[in-house]
Amino acid sequence: MSAPLPLNYSTQPASFDGLLNDLLQQQSRFSAVEMFANWHDEQAHTHELAPHYSVLMPASPLKAGEQYAFEVDLDACSGCKACVVACHNLNNLESDETWRKVGCLTSKESEIKAFLPVAMPVVQHVTTACHHCVDPGCLSGCPVKAYEKDPLTGIVKHLDDQCFGCKYCTMMCPYEVPQYSATLGIVRKCDMCHQRLANQEAPACVQACPNKAIRIQSVETAVVRQRGALIEAALLPTAPPNSITLPTTQFVSKRTIPASVVSMETVRDEPHDGHVPLVGMLVLTQASVGLWLMIALSLAIKVASTIELRLASIIATSLGVVGVHLALLHLGRPQLAYRAFLGWRTSWLSREAIAFGVYMAAASVATIAILFADVTSDWLGATAIILLTMTVALIGIAGVFCSAMIYVATQRELWNKRRTLSGFLGTLVALGLSLASLTTNSDIWGTFALLTCIVTAATFAPQFIDVARSSSSSSPSPRFGERGPGREGLSLASPQFPHPSPLPRKAGGEGANEVQPADFSSRSGQLITKHLARPWYLMWFCFLGAVVCSGLVYVTTGNATLFGVLSVVFFFASHLIHRWIYFSAIVTYRMPGAST
């Protein structure tokens, strides 16, 4: 070790310029090194903080059937958020990237004073990160197998170089843990600092908490499964049900926290990303499949002559081609799209990719057959083409089914099977009919147009009901279990929170101004009214335009083609907007702090 250099401060120079030069020069030097730096000659220290966190690490190695999990002592979490910044700093994350979040639960209703055992209001900060679930949604949803659950530690790791940035895991994780980075084109997430754990060091957040609120513990996966078996159980008030992914984090407290608390950050529902490329992809592929279905049906019921087969097949296949390629725009790293099939065992996104791959191949064959073979010349040819087009349509429907299941699998109430499947199939039928009408003669046109209108209206109905319900209920807000099982207040000492049923409360009974538990439907309706009013009315305007144009085709035979095309355009526009609202107006459970 060399002796520290003396700081070469000048004595007072007489001239101003001499002094200024001295001072500017001094400013560019580092006194710390010259005077004080602790040079480290030896490399082999232990981590200085180890005594602080040794009590926060599992006492014994993992046994079979166990995995690592975070445990958060809510009584010690005072909201300083050092964990968030330490994680950011010690993991070299991007400038505004955070893997840990801190939310704040607070009471919004004064009457809780009246009937709760603890009469004081609540302000409870909550630190959360990845819950390293037993059944991670991110992993099962990933189409490229970019997630691994470590067989020994249970840590859910993201393989950054494998990821192609489809963001599906950000939908599949009910806790909004994976974060997409537009600069990197991939998502990243908490890996429980597995590299540190491997060195017997605590994760950054555990190291940095001044109050030792975060620890790593071993949990039995069987116990986590039991917790998840209760449909009502959730990690915290406002959080999603445990049953979706079986999260391993435990929040513990000696206090009593009323169930009516809300998360400060998510008190107001805000629109989500509308996923424009996905909207285009979904609606165009569904229109494509719909038109193939119409082609197949019209051939089967021998009305082939009424459809201009060649034009229809070209349109149907082109829509498919455009639609499928639009999906690439959604990817952060589209050059890796070829990996999309890898997750087919668990991921509906992989299955969709495979289904539409096969569908495009089949549709191309069918189109070529229709264009170049005289398909109606004999019985054999006619039967073959019926079978071929039927096959195309069925594969396409399978693809659309996969599309729907992608969202159903997220287990969000407003994206449930009934809503999503009926919505997607509605678009399929409506736009199929609408396009088919363009290529038919006018004899059955009226029937097609009328059907299109009816199916479209039916497709939009659930959103309409949401909006109608929101205007009839008084200011719904994301309240948790107001009339659910936890009404009397919950002791956090029992680590799991009863969860309200997502079903609306039975009508009548308890008083008119009570808000129904977790009423996502009317909250979504209110979100549409408040934030998405313009697209909402534009959607209905397009629908109206389509209806009017359809009617005009009927009465003004001269401009039938123009109005026919216009009606198709209007129908397409309305369905595109509808799908955009489907994504934007989603309301679901949110972990405290999830929006930050």
Partner 1 sequence: MIKNLLPVLHQKGGPLTEQLVLSPQTYGLGSLPIDQIPDSTTTAVCGYCSTGCGLKIHLKDGQAINLTPSVKYPVNLGMACPKGWEALRVLESDDRATSPLLRQADGSKQPVSWQDAIDIFCDRFKAIQNQYGNEAVAFLSTGQIPTEEMAFLGCLAKFGMGWKHGDANTRQCMATSVVAYKQSFGFDAPPFTYSDFEASDTLVFVGANPCIAHPIMWQRVLSNPNNPEIIVVDPRRTETAMNATEHLAIYPKSDLALLYGLAKLLIEMKAIKQDYIDANTTDFESFKQHVQAFDLERVAAETDVSDEQLIRVAKKIANSQRVSFWWTMGVNQSYQAVRTAQAIINLALMTGNMGRPGTGANSITGQCNAMGSRLFSNTTNLFGHHDFANPTHRAKIADVLAIPEGRIPTDSGLAYDQILSNIETGSIRGLWVVATNPSHSWINSPRAQKILAKLDFLVVQDMYSNTETAKFAHLILPAASWGEKEGTFINSERRIGLLKRVKKAPGQALADYSIFRLIANRWGCGAMFEKWVSPEATFQLLKQASRGQACDITGIDDYAMIDRCGGIQWPYTAFERSLSDTPAQERRLFSDGKYFHPDQKAKFLFVEPTEMPELPDETYPFILLTGRGSVSQWHTQSRTSKSPILRKLYPADPYVEIHPDNAAELDIEDQAWVTIHSRRGYAIVRAVLTTCVQPDQLFMPMHDGQTNNLTHEKVDPFSRQPSYKDCAVGILPSGGIR
Residues 198-227, interacting with partner 1 (CB under 8 A): 199, 201, 207-212
Give 163 or 546: the residue with its C-beta nearer to partner 1: 163
Give 261 or 287: the residue with its C-beta nearer to partner 1: 261
Tell me which residue has tokens 């264009």.
371
Give 86 or 291: the residue with its C-beta nearer to partner 1: 86
479 binds partner 1 (CB under 8 A): no
Q: Applying CB under 8 A, which part among 38-46, 169-177, 309-317, 350-358 lies near partner 1?
A: 38-46
DSSP H or E segment with residue 147: strand 147-149
Give 38 or 60: the residue with its C-beta nearer to partner 1: 38
**Least Cβ distance, residue 17 to partner 1 (angstroms):** 7
Nearest by Cα to 350 from 485, 585, 516, 166 = 166
Q: For residue 231, how many other CB atoms are within 10 A of its CB?
A: 12
**Least Cβ distance, residue 103 to partner 1 (angstroms):** 11
**Least Cβ distance, residue 159 to partner 1 (angstroms):** 6
**Residues between 43 and 62 with contacts to partner 1, criterion CB under 8 A:** 43, 45-49, 52
Label residue 192 left, alpha or beta by phi (over 0 means left) and psi (-120 to 50 means alpha).
Answer: left
**Residues between 159 and 188 with contacts to partner 1, criterion CB under 8 A:** 159-163, 184, 186, 188
Q: Applying CB under 8 A, which part among 23-31, 436-444, 457-465, 554-562 lies near partner 1?
A: 23-31
Max Cα–Cα distance, the chain, nearest Å: 111
Give 7 or 565: the residue with its C-beta nearer to partner 1: 7
Q: Applying CB under 8 A, which part among 2-10, 132-140, 313-321, 553-561 lies near partner 1?
A: 2-10
**Least Cβ distance, residue 398 to partner 1 (angstroms):** 24
The correct pick among 7, 229, 454, 565 for binding partner 1 (CB under 8 A) is: 7
Give 65 or 79: the residue with its C-beta nearer to partner 1: 79
Give 423 or 478: the residue with its C-beta nearer to partner 1: 478
250-252 and 123-128: which strand pairing?
unpaired
Output the six-digit token pair for 252: 């513990």
Task: Pinpoint the alpha helices (H) of 247-378.
Answer: 276-300, 309-330, 348-372
596 binds partner 1 (CB under 8 A): yes
The correct pick among 37, 231, 329, 533 for binding partner 1 (CB under 8 A) is: 37
* 3-class secondary-structure state, position 156: strand
**Least Cβ distance, residue 405 to partner 1 (angstroms):** 24
Could you please report the per-residue DSSP string of 359-382? HHHHHHHHHHHHHHS-TTSSHHHH
The correct pick among 2, 3, 6, 27 for binding partner 1 (CB under 8 A) is: 27
Binding residues with partner 1: total (CB under 8 A):
94
**Angle of helix 417-438 relative to helix 276-300, nearest 10 degrees?**
60
Q: For residue 159, how many other CB atoms are within 10 A of its CB?
A: 13
Nearest by Cα to 288 from 396, 421, 422 = 396
Give 112 or 291: the residue with its C-beta nearer to partner 1: 112
**Residues between 341 and 370 with contacts to partner 1, criterion CB under 8 A:** 342
Tell me which residue has tokens 């039967």.
383
**Least Cβ distance, residue 182 to partner 1 (angstroms):** 14
* 3-class secondary-structure state, position 181: strand
Spell out, one character per residue from 230 to 269, where the chain touches partner 1: x when CB under 8 A holds, - when not.
----------------------------------xx-xx-
- Contact between 406 and 348 under an 8 Å Cβ cutoff? The reply is yes
CA distance 6 to 204: 37
The correct pick among 57, 58, 62, 76 for binding partner 1 (CB under 8 A) is: 76
**Least Cβ distance, residue 416 to partner 1 (angstroms):** 27
Sheet holding 262-263, edge to edge: 123-128, 101-106, 262-263
**Residues between 98 and 157 with contacts to partner 1, criterion CB under 8 A:** 98, 102, 106-110, 112-113, 120-125, 145
89 binds partner 1 (CB under 8 A): yes
Sign of CA dihedral 332, 338, 344, 348: positive
**Least Cβ distance, residue 100 to partner 1 (angstroms):** 11
CA distance 135 to 452: 41
**Least Cβ distance, residue 39 to partner 1 (angstroms):** 5
66-73 and 250-252: which strand pairing?
parallel
- Contact between 339 and 159 under an 8 Å Cβ cutoff? The reply is no
Residue count (the chain): 596
Output the six-digit token pair for 309: 């087969």
**Least Cβ distance, residue 440 to partner 1 (angstroms):** 46
**Non-local CB neighbours of 104 within 8 Å, separated by 6+ positions:** 79, 123, 124, 125, 126, 263, 264, 265, 592, 593
Burial label for 314, CB within 10 Å (0-12, 13-18, 19+), is middle
Q: Applying CB under 8 A, which part among 33-41, 126-134, 322-330, 551-559 lies near partner 1?
A: 33-41
Give 29 or 417: the residue with its C-beta nearer to partner 1: 29
**Least Cβ distance, residue 442 to partner 1 (angstroms):** 52
Task: Pinpoint the alpha helices (H) of 92-188.
Answer: 112-115, 137-141, 168-172
Give 75 or 308: the residue with its C-beta nearer to partner 1: 75
Spell out, one character per residue from 439 to 458, where the chain touches partner 1: x when CB under 8 A holds, - when not.
--------------------
412 binds partner 1 (CB under 8 A): no
474 binds partner 1 (CB under 8 A): no
* 3-class secondary-structure state, position 409: coil
Give 194 or 225: the residue with its C-beta nearer to partner 1: 194
Tell me which residue has tokens 């030896």.
42
Spell out, one character per residue from 286 to 325, where the chain touches partner 1: x when CB under 8 A holds, - when not.
----------------------------------------
Amino acid at residue number 338: Y
